[in-house]
Homo-oligomer: A and B are copies of this chain.
Amino acid sequence: MRPDTKDDVLKRLSYVDGHLAGIRRMVEQDKYCVDILKQTYAVRRAIEALEVRILDGHLRTCVVEGIRDDRGDQVIGELLDLYTLKER
């Protein structure tokens, strides 16, 4: 991972940690379940945004290099696996 991608991903992970700590407090304080669920949805979206950042870096480095080095089948196979796995 490039340094700027890595910094951004680590920062986003810290944000997700903080968000989850907030959800823990909501559960401990018996907040309304519907409000808790809206927050867990938001956390999953934050993780997805982080994935886009990782994927962006991956495509621009490993995938480009893989295709140029004739390892296209491998890197493309991995991308298709990820696409299929994404929501399972």
Overall SS of chain A's interface: helix
Tell me the number of copies of this protein.
Answer: 4
Inter-chain contacts of A37 with B (CB < 8 A): 51, 54-55, 58, 82
Of residues 41 through 87 on chain A, the ones whose CB sits less than 8 Å from some CB of chain B are: 41, 43-45, 47-48, 50-52, 54-60, 62-64, 67-68, 72, 76, 78-87
- The number of residues on chain A lying at the interface, defined by a beta carbon within 8 Å of a beta carbon of chain B, is 54
A25 to B88, CA, bound (A): 24
B85 and A41 within 8 A (CB): yes
Name the B residues within 8 Å of A63 (CB-CB). 67, 76
The distance in angstroms between the C-alpha atoms of A52 and B24, with both chains bound, is 16
